[in-house]
Chains A and B, each alone.
Chain A
Amino acid sequence: MLKYVASKAFESLALMVGVLVLVFFLVRLTGDPVALMVPKDAPDSQREAFAINMGLDRPVIEQFLLYVGDVVRGDLGDSLRQRRPAVDIIFERLWPTVQLALGALAFAVVLAIPLGLAAGMEPNGTWDKIARTVGLAGQTIPSYWLGMLLIVFFAVELRWLPSFGRDTAASLILPAVSLGFSGLGQLVRLTRSTVLEVRRSDYLRTARAKGVATTHLAFRHVLPNVAIPLISVLGIQFTYLLGGSVYIESVFAWPGMGTLLESAVRDTDFPLVQAITVFIAFVAISVHLLTDLLYGLLDPRLRIA
């Protein structure tokens, strides 16, 4: 087990270094990072001063090593626009995004597991048809569009829920549903197909032959076996939600990291864009590591591989 943990941790660390290389060189890909960060009409003297101030006049390798050193110390650079550490700005926006992602995940999981279970226990039944429709809809309806439809219907027409902002607990409902909907589709499909697979297994046939009641069968014999693949997908889903929240936050003016990234892009505040990317990537890699470890804990076969 220790070897498994160590190798997974090393993998994650290598990926983090990779992300730093990627983000660092991406900004320099166009050849002139100064042009990306300074307004087009700025005089040359200002450009030079900016380059020296940001350390952009030094050799690239030296810049990179300084950058990595800063990141290790928890310094992701300063925002150009707000003139203060990017990390501080990110932490102010972190909780709303996590809240939104967790809300979306909760919405998806709470509906997907019972629906997928009911669908898989009785293929081609009514629940199965509903589950397949939800699965397909989650795949085809763009989240940002769903968000706009929900605003038009529930906020403008019915006036039941707020259409933007994060003032009351009810503000979370529409954004979380829009963000979680495609995940709901995926989780329903996964739960359903796993249940179908488990149903064909020998131990389930034995249980059925013993005369175990269907509900008992579903909850005691099928559900625990569905949990394992579900956990690994939840990790992937969470990462996906972090990215997808950019659109949803933009639709609902949700004050999280998504709108922060959007405004940083609009203001060409590159150090902030860079910092947000590194931060989100690090969070995603850590979540993956955690799911890998949890997975290894639940399914001993994986520790050997």
Chain B
Amino acid sequence: MLGLALVTLISAAAIFAPWIAPHDPSAANFLAARQPPAWNPDGSLTYLLGTDQLGQDLFSRIVYGARVSLLVGFLGALTAVSLGVTLGLLAGWFGGWTDRIISSFANLLLAVPYLVLVIVIATVLGRSLVNVILLFGVTSSPVFIRFARGEALRLKQLAFVEAARGLGAGSRVIIPRHLLPNIVGPLATLATFEVSAMIFYEAGLGFLGLSVPPEVPSWGNMLSLGRRFLTTHPWMAVFPGLAIAITTLGINLLGDWLRDAIDPRSQEGG
């Protein structure tokens, strides 16, 4: 249940950011630049986790940064699931050329090392939140294409689908009414892990300076800035990274719990 608690905490931080953050995340205060965290002898309680080189409050920026991470994670995963499941079910159900074209698309995206693919597309598209969500949505869809295709192939042979077909139901009825509901369970687990993977990759892209615009407070952008001051002011990079690790931990624990709840057979591994 630690997972649910962590995810709730981070989501609350994202939603209620203006009320939680003690400072405007973009307010610079040059008199208080590069302050260490409050528990350091040189720190102050005004800036709980210290400040960056512009004197912006790190705690406030981390709270606001949760917004970018969660938006990219959830909307990106949603895009990947919708696109992947639609294409995968069509491929599995119709077979033939439909399958060949869709499967080649998936195989092609999987052939290029994921991070390289993401970096190249991000460079072409340019830095914006919508671009980043679309980028992750499309490049992560092959996982769901493969999953949905396999499930469609399996379900196609089962008696209830055959019965529906015998009663005269067409693909327009069978795919959304008979196939889709039967894959929702395992799909939910797969999608949960995808959310945490995307948060991970978005921050990595931000770290390379290729995600949302630099003035937007995001964990990746903070890391990208913090690494320049790593040897003298390590907290500037340590805290945003910790936020990423805690978030992905929460979501992964939630995913594990979801998998065990939906499929009791998977419990044997613990």
Contact = CB atoms under 8 A, between A and B. Distances in A.
Contacts of A29: 124
A242 B113 CA distance: 7
Interface in A159-175: 163
A163 B232 CA distance: 13
B121 A26 contact: yes
Interface string A115-144: 000000001100010001000100111101
B242 to A, nearest CB: 8
B119 A246 contact: yes
Contacts of B223: 144-145, 148
Interface string B159-191: 000000000000000000000000000000000
Interface string A253-272: 00000000110011010000
B112 A19 contact: yes
Interface stretch (B34-42, B47-55, B57-65, B103-111): B103-111
Contact of A284 (B107, B112, B238): B112
Given A26-B120, A240-B114, A284-B113, A15 B234 contact: no
B241 A243 contact: no
Interface stretch (B9-17, B25-33, B70-78, B200-208): B200-208
**SS class, residues of chain A in contact with chain B:** helix
Contacts of A132: 270
Given A243-B113, A277-B112, A281-B113, A139 B238 contact: no
Contacts of A26: 120-121, 124
**SS class, residues of chain B in contact with chain A:** helix
A285 interface: yes
Interface in B80-122: 104, 107-108, 111-117, 119-121
Contact of A142 (B111, B200, B238): B200
B6 to A, nearest CB: 11
Contacts of B125: 30
Q: Which of B120, B124, B244, B245 has the most CB of A within 10 A?
A: B120
Q: Which of B196, B230, B248 has the most CB of A within 10 A?
A: B230
Contacts of A250: 207-208
Contacts of B237: 145, 148
A36 interface: yes
B212 interface: no
A27 B120 CA distance: 9
Contacts of B269: 192-193, 196
B191 to A, nearest CB: 16
Contacts of B227: 148, 251
A152 B239 CA distance: 13
A212 to B, nearest CB: 24
Contact of B116 (A140, A242, A288): A242
A173 to B, nearest CB: 18
Given A142-B204, A265-B210, A281 B245 contact: no
Nearest to A250: B208
Contact of B124 (A30, A142, A247): A30
A218 to B, nearest CB: 18
A152 B203 CA distance: 20
Interface string A165-194: 000000000000000000000000000110
B116 to A, nearest CB: 5
B230 A243 contact: no
Interface string B117-149: 101110111000000000000000000000000
A244 B104 contact: no
A243 B124 contact: no
Q: Which of A140, A163, A246 has the most CB of B within 10 A?
A: A140
Given A30-B125, A149-B241, A265-B123, 16 more contacts: A15-B111, A19-B108, A19-B111, A30-B124, A145-B237, A148-B223, A148-B237, A152-B230, A152-B238, A156-B230, A156-B231, A192-B269, A243-B113, A250-B207, A277-B116, A277-B117
Interface of B: 104, 107-108, 111-117, 119-121, 123-125, 196, 200, 203-204, 207-210, 223, 226-227, 230-231, 234, 237-238, 241, 244-245, 248-249, 252, 268-270
